[in-house]
Amino acid sequence: TRSTRPQRLLRAVQKKAIKGDPQSVISTIDYFCRHSEWAMNVGDEKGAILDSVVCEVSPSTALELGTYCGYSTVRIARLLPPGTKLITLEFNPDYAAVARQIIEYSGLQDKICLVEGASGDLIPKMQELFGIKTFDFVFLDHWKDRYLPDIKLLEECQLLRKGSILLADNVICPGTPDYLEYVRNSPLYESKYFKSHLEYTKVEDGLEKSVFLG
Ligand X SMILES: O=C(NCCCCCn1ccnc1)c1cc(-c2ccc(F)cc2)cc(O)c1O
Residue 162 known to be catalytic: no
Q: Whole-angstrom Cα distance, residue 19 to residue 101?
A: 11
Q: Is 120 in the site for ligand X (CB under 6 A)?
A: no
* Residues in binding contact with ligand X, number by CB under 6 A: 18
Q: 82-85 — which CB contacts under 8 Å span 24+ positions? A: 84/59, 84/60, 84/111, 85/61, 85/111, 85/112, 85/113, 85/130
Among 61, 67, 106, 170, binds Mg ion (CB under 5 A): 170
Residue 144 known to be catalytic: yes
> In the bound complex, what is the minimum distance in angstroms from residue 91's beta carbon to ligand X?
4
Could you say which of ligand X, Mg ion, none residue 119 binds, taking C-beta under 5 to 8 angstroms by partner kind? ligand X
Q: Whole-angstrom Cα distance, residue 147 to residue 140?
A: 7
Residue 169 known to be catalytic: yes
> In the bound complex, what is the minimum distance in angstroms from residue 115's beta carbon to ligand X?
10
| Count of C-beta atoms within a 10 Å radius of residue 30 | 18
Binding mask 169-188 for ligand X (x = CB under 6 A): xx--xx--------------
Q: Is 30 in the site for Mg ion (CB under 5 A)?
A: no
CA distances from 29 to 39, 99, 121, 214 (A): 9, 12, 30, 38
Bridge partners (DSSP) of residue 113 are 87
> In the bound complex, what is the minimum distance in angstroms from residue 169's beta carbon to ligand X?
5
Subset of 26-45 contacting ligand X (CB under 6 A)? 40
Enumerate the active-site residues. Answer: 141, 144, 169-170, 199
Binding site for ligand X (CB under 6 A): 40, 65-66, 68, 89-92, 119, 141-143, 169-170, 173-174, 198-199
